[in-house]
Amino acid sequence: MAFAPAWVLDASSAMIAKRYIMGDMPLEAYTNRFSKSLLERYSDTSGDKLLESVEGMMNFMTTIKGENVLLVCDAFLHNRVCFESSGAPRKMKTMFRSALSPQKKQVGGDAVVKSFRTFVFRLRSDPSLLAPKSWDPSDVQDLDWLADIFKQRVKVTDTL
C-alpha cells in the first residue's frame, strides 16, 4: 500500500486548519478537496481522516489561550515541511528517494494531533520555532505537487 508520510499528513492538516480559520467555507470543503488531491498519491488520505486530524488540532487550539493560532499553524507547517522530527533539515530529494514518496506504514489521525500538541509545547519554550514572516510553502524547493495542493482553490461544492 502507498501511505502518506507522517510529515505530509501533519503539514496538510496544518494547512487545512489555517485555510479554514482564514476562509469562509465549511471545514469539510477543505478536507474533502485536500483529500481528493492527496488520494491521487496516497491511499490513506480520506476526507474523514483529515477531518479527524484537523478537528483534533482545532480542539486543542481552543485550550491555548492568548496565542495566535495562525502563527502556531504556520510554525507547525514550516517545521514539518522544512525539518525532520529530529530537527535536521528535511531533504526533499536525494539520489535514491523523495521525502514525498509513499510509506509502507500507515499513520493515524490521532498521531497528527499528538505531533501538533508536542510541537505547541516545544514552541512555547522555544520561540525560534516560529516560521519566518515571509515564508510560504510554495517557496520550498522540490515540494512540487504538494505546494500546488496547498494553494488549490476550494469551492463550496467540495463539501459534498
Q: How far apart are CA 32 and CA 50, in angstroms?
A: 8
DSSP secondary structure, 43-59, as one string: TT--HHHHHHHHHHHHH
Contact between 45 and 9 (Cβ < 8 Å): yes
pLDDT attached to residue 159: 85
pLDDT band at 160 (very low <50, low <70, confident <90, very high): confident
Distance of CA 121 to the CA centre of its chain: 17
- Alpha-carbon distance 96 to 124, whole Å? 37
Model pLDDT, residue 94? 87
- Whole-angstrom Cα distance, residue 14 to residue 1? 24
Report the C-alpha gap between 27 and 1 in whole angstroms: 28
64 pLDDT band (50/70/90 cuts)? confident
Q: Is the predicted pLDDT of residue 76 greater than 90, yes or no?
A: yes
pLDDT band of residue 66 (cuts 50, 70, 90) is low
Section 82-100 average pLDDT:
91
Enumerate the domain spans of the chain. Answer: 6-159
pLDDT for the residue numbered 79: 97
Over the stretch 101-152, which tens digit does the pLDDT of each residue have? 999 999 999 999 999 999 999 999 999 999 999 899 999 999 989 999 999 9
CA distances from 89 to 37, 83, 84 (A): 26, 4, 6
pLDDT reported for residue 65: 76
- Give 9-51 pLDDT, tens digit per residue: 999 999 999 999 999 999 999 999 999 999 999 999 999 999 9
